[in-house]
Structures are given as structure tokens and as C-alpha cells.
Copies of this chain bind each other. A is one copy, B any other.
Amino acid sequence: MGGDAGPDAVVPAALQALHLYPHLQLILVGNQTILDASLRKYHGVNCPRLEVLHASEIVAMDDKPSLALRNKKDSSMRVAINLVKEGKAQACVSSGNTGALMATAKFVLKTLPGIDRPAIMARFPTIKKNTLVRVLDLGANVDSTAKHLLQFALMGTVVAKTVGHVAKPSVGLLNIGEEEMKGNSLVQETTALLDHCPGIHYIGYVEGDDIFKGAADIVVCDGFVGNVMLKTTEGVLTMLSKYVKDAFMQNWLSKLAALLIMPIVKKIGKSLDPREYNGASLLGLNGIVVKSHGSANQKSFLSAIREAMEEVEHNVPSLLREEITELFHLQADTVIESAPQLA
């Protein structure tokens, strides 16, 4: 029920996914009447491997997460996450309110042992063709500590290795280059931890522009900084597309030029469109939850379903549980004892 387009993105994407992946089974959770109507609209009535599960409430995009969690116990979001908890679904994909999704997922599924806080991770395109970068945390946490960032680095490493098929994923710590001391107290503490953690291929500091240069496979930061980075990226791209549209609509000559270069513009759009990489992972939970962008259309919601499927196929939570419990207890504890000047 979530996202700007609601079932008009989710339902056709679900039908397409079922068509593409013969082993996939989907449960559409939401208002039965609306979903039935949508299934009729998109010719999905009686579609095999598709179930509809009624949920009487909807979490609005501007609902406060705490209130949504407390008051909307029959929301589509809550019911979908409950399915994961009960083992009736292996993953939940939602375009809904990110804060509410995170709060509900955390409350229902709980965090994995060894993980203090779940994180939001998404993929971004880079200048290097066919090379994506995974950035976390994009806003699940603020005022993170060095220990949290270390956990993020470990989680990112596991996902990049398995889902991302990167043999030895490099981890960069987001920092700034301008300041004398080279960063704030958080990054200084974190770099000391990462330097000593053998499970992580830590390559040191990266800056905001390095993210898009593909300087690291994984970039780790506090959720406040990560969210500003994410929203800045969206803001710049939105501004740019507005400028391009305005410039090409100016006169008949520019409109003609626009027609001519449309295939090229589309191709660039496809390489850069965040919707191509849609599907942010809520990592560190006892279950798989993928957040689709609120503006997702059919195609991009399909990407989010695919991301969830890959996490299911690799059994990411169980991998995280094994690797992190082991790595974290074996290594980080030694690190914490041996790291210099740790708060």
C-alpha cells in the first residue's frame, strides 16, 4: 500500500516478478478490496503463486514511526513483517514510511546477536562501469559510535561478498579532507577499530566525491551523514533533470534536438537512475526487509523484489549471524582492548 504509486507500482511489479521467476511466491498484503481491484486492472486475478492477505490499516508517509508501531497493529507493513517473523514469508518488501518500517521491523524481528543497531544500506552507481558502491547507514541511526560503524562495516562486507559477488570487498570510512585533524572524533575512533579488524578489508578514509568514483565497494558512515549524502544526491539529480527539461522545452529547435538525443538521454538515465538500483536493505535484523523508494514505479519495485530474492537465496541474516557473531566476538573484542584511545 506504500509509496507514491501504491498498488499501481507494486501489483504490476509483483506480476512481472512472478512471470520472470518461476520459483517465486508472493503474498500481497494490504486492503483486500483495493488489491483485488488492482489485480483485475493488471490482469492478475487467479494468478498462481500469488496470495492476497488483508490488512485493515495503512501507515501514512507522514505517520510518526512510534505511533504507527503502537496504534496501527493491522497495518499492511506490520502484517507483512509479522509474516517474516512467523516464517510464512522469507522477506518483506515495502515502499512505505522508512522510519515506521525500521521501527516496526526492529520491534517485531529484533536485531541479530552482536548487532546493536540495524542499518539501512543501498547501492549507488559509480564512474566505473558495472561497479556499484554500497553505502550504510543511510538514516536508521544517528549519534552512532565507533562500535556501531564497525558492525556496519562487517554487515556491508558480508552482503557485498554474497549478494554483490565481490571477492574481497573494500571498506572506506566516509570522512572529510579539509580539516586539520582529518575528521571528527567518531571517524578517528572508528579508523582505529577498522584498522585492526581482520575480517574487513579496510582501505581508509574516503570523501563524498570518492563514493561515486568507486573508490571502495562499501562506504560506512553515521546515519545522519549518510542520509544527508543520499538526499543531496537525489536533490542534485532532481535539479539537473529540471534544468535539462527546461532547456529542451525552450523553442522548436531545442525540442527537435531533444527528440534526436532522447535515446542517449534515456541511456544515461538508465545508468544513473537510482530506481535501477532500488531496494535498500534493512540489515542486522532476524529477517529480510527491503525498503523500496517511495517514488518507485513498476520497474524499480521489481528491482527491490529482486534484491530481497537475492538476500533470501544467500540467506543473508543467517550468514550475518554466523559471520558477525564469530568475527565480532573473536576479533572486535580483542580490537576494543588493543585499540588506542578508544572512548
Contacts of A183 in B (CB 8 A): 142, 224
**Residue from A141, A142, A183, A242 whose CB has the most chain B CB atoms within 10 Å:** A142
Contacts of A140 in B (CB 8 A): 178-179
In the bound complex, how far is the Cα of B141 from the Cα of A210, in angstroms?
Answer: 21
A180-B103 in contact given A211-B235, A239-B272, A272-B239 (Cβ < 8 Å): yes
User: Which stretch, A5-13, A43-51, A243-251, touches the partner chain B?
Assistant: A243-251
Contacts of A334 in B (CB 8 A): none
Q: How far is the CB of A178 from chain B (nearest CB, A)?
A: 3
Q: How far is the CB of A31 from chain B (nearest CB, A)?
A: 25
A179-B139 in contact given A247-B264, A261-B257 (Cβ < 8 Å): yes
Contact present for B176 and A239 (CB under 8 Å): no
Residue of B nearest to A174 (CB): B228
Chain A residues 196-246 with CB under 8 Å of chain B are 207-213, 221, 223-225, 227-240, 242-244
In the bound complex, how far is the Cα of B209 from the Cα of A272, in angstroms?
Answer: 17
Specify which of B181, B261, B272 is in contact with A261 (CB 8 Å cutoff). B261
A145 at the interface (CB under 8 A from B): no
Q: Specify how many copies of this chain sit in the oligomer.
A: 2
Main secondary structure of the interface of A (DSSP, over half): helix
In the bound complex, how far is the Cα of B139 from the Cα of A150, in angstroms?
Answer: 24
**Residue from A224, A240, A242 whose CB has the most chain B CB atoms within 10 Å:** A224
Contacts of A125 in B (CB 8 A): 239
In the bound complex, how far is the Cα of B182 from the Cα of A66, in angstroms?
Answer: 12
A99 at the interface (CB under 8 A from B): yes
A interface, CB within 8 angstroms of B: 64-66, 98-99, 102-103, 120, 125-127, 138-143, 174, 176-181, 183-185, 207-213, 221, 223-225, 227-240, 242-244, 247-248, 250, 254, 257, 260-261, 264, 267-268, 271-272
